[in-house]
């Protein structure tokens, strides 16, 4: 979903990040507010005033999105759901959860928190514009816009189309009814996909009638929601298939390892170029001595390859690339996602028992889908 992200700060321990796409949409929003929205709300102001209002409105909009997403994260943490961070990006923001809610009630509370907070912010800002005596037009215009846009944000998110908040509320009700998260997610995801198709069709119509920018936004948001709805259902399927399965069930028990006495040149030719792995365990009679990766090789001059041994460049393996044989397969998959490592070493009492790869997890998932639909 995301590209390059910048971490701005940590709010109560939750990382707040900006995706680079945010800067693009921030400029577009500021421009559209300064040239179109605010001149209609507060006429007869200077261009400088409109641009100041546009920048303030864009910052206020994304602050509102951040508060909306943080409310989801805060409720999720109260229900022991891990939150990996909040990211602001081109389509708004998202609170990245490390797992599914533990119950329908937790899902409902977490989903409802965002719209309720947005409604409260919208009402407060609209009221402030009227309560502040003699408020200057720029302040009155920005407050009115932010109050209105928070109410729009709440209304849009309450549409019962997964993964919008309204779709999550619907899923919680279906989950409570049938006590089946997979079925509830399937139904909510289909409704989300149908809504996304309507948005894309609306976008096409708007483009045809001359509203190119608005039409493109509708189409792109529809595409994003469709992908998100399908991904959410696939995520639930993966969790159902892998959760509770220890990695020892499908790890490779005879992995390729590097002998410590090889020269670097021999290791590159006989192992790295042959097996195409970027990291190899270094062992001595199944005892794990450490790891050697392309990262260590890059720091060694080419003319040293024939003189230096694998043992000389071996570094200790870390928690980023090692797990125990009883580790839950779902936790192994989460570690691969966080670390970017597609292969994890399975280690017990200092001995290498095997290797589990992303391919192993996906093949097990596919087989379980086939045998236990």
Euclidean distance between CA atoms 10 and 304, whole angstroms:
44
DSSP reduced 3-state for 43: coil
Check residue 373 and give its pLDDT. 60
Euclidean distance between CA atoms 166 and 164, whole angstroms:
5
Q: Which of 300, 275, 282 is nearest to 350 (CA)?
A: 282
Check residue 133 and give its pLDDT. 63
Angle at 158 between CA 152 and CA 162, to 5 degrees: 125
pTM score, whole prediction: 0.76
Handedness of CA 238, 244, 246, 249 (dihedral sign): negative
> How, if at all, do strands 258-259 and 279-284 pair?
parallel
Q: Which of 39, 58, 62 is nearest to 49 (CA)?
A: 39
Euclidean distance between CA atoms 295 and 8, whole angstroms:
28
Domain chopping of the chain, boundaries: 5-242, 247-371
Euclidean distance between CA atoms 361 and 347, whole angstroms:
18
Check residue 110 and give its pLDDT. 93
Q: Which of 281, 284, 307 is nearest to 293 (CA)?
A: 281
Q: Name the token pair of 259.
A: 């002998």
> How, if at all, do strands 5-11 and 279-284 pair?
unpaired
Euclidean distance between CA atoms 297 and 115, whole angstroms:
52
What is Dmax (Cα atoms) for the chain? Answer: 82
- What average pLDDT values come out for the chain (373 residues) when binned by 10 residues? 72 85 86 89 89 93 92 90 83 78 91 94 85 77 92 92 90 92 88 91 90 83 87 81 84 88 91 90 86 88 89 89 90 83 88 88 80 67
Q: CATH second-level architecture of 247-371?
A: Roll (3.10)
Strand ranges across the sheet with 14-19:
5-11, 14-19, 83-89, 92-97
Euclidean distance between CA atoms 353 and 255, whole angstroms:
8
Strand ranges across the sheet with 322-323:
258-259, 279-284, 287-293, 351-357, 343-348, 322-323
> Quick one: DSSP state of residue 301?
-
Cis before 163? omega within 30: yes
């Amino acid at each position: 979903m995301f590209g390059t992200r910048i971490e701005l700060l940590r709010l109560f321990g939750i990382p707040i990040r900006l995706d680079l796409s945010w800067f693009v949409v921030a400029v577009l929003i500021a421009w559209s507010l300064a040239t179109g929205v605010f001149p209609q709300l507060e006429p007869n102001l200077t261009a400088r005033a409109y641009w100041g209002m546009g920048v303030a409105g864009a910052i206020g909009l994304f602050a509102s999105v951040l508060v909306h997403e943080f409310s989801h994260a805060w409720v999720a943490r109260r229900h022991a759901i891990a939150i990996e961070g909040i990211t602001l990006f081109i389509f708004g923001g998202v609170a990245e959860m490390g797992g599914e809610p533990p119950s329908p009630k937790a899902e409902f509370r977490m989903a409802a928190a965002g719209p309720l907070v947005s409604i409260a912010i919208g009402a407060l800002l609209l009221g402030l514009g009227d309560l502040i005596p003699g408020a200057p037009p720029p302040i009155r215009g920005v407050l009115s816009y932010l109050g209105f846009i928070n109410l729009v944000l709440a209304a849009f998110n309450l549409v019962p189309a997964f993964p919008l908040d309204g779709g999550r509320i619907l899923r919680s009700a279906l989950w409570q009814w049938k006590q089946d998260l997979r079925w509830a997610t399937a139904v909510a995801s289909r409704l989300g996909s149908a809504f996304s198709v309507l948005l894309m069709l609306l976008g096409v119509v708007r483009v045809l009638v001359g509203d190119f920018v608005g039409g493109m936004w509708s189409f792109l948001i529809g595409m994003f929601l469709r992908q998100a709805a399908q991904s959410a259902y696939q995520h639930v399927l993966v969790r159902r298939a892998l959760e509770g399965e220890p990695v020892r069930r499908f790890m490779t028990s005879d992995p390729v390892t590097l002998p410590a006495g090889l020269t670097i040149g021999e290791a590159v030719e006989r192992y790295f170029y042959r097996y195409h792995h970027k990291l190899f365990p270094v062992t001595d009679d199944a005892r794990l001595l450490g790891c050697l990766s392309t990262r260590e090789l890059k720091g060694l001059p080419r003319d040293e390859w024939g003189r230096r041994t694998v043992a000389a460049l071996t570094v200790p393996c870390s928690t980023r690339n090692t797990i125990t044989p009883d580790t839950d397969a779902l936790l192994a998959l989460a570690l691969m996602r966080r670390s970017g490592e597609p292969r994890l070493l399975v280690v017990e009492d200092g001995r290498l028992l095997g290797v589990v790869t992303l391919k192993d997890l996906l093949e097990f998932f596919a087989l379980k889908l086939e045998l236990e639909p």
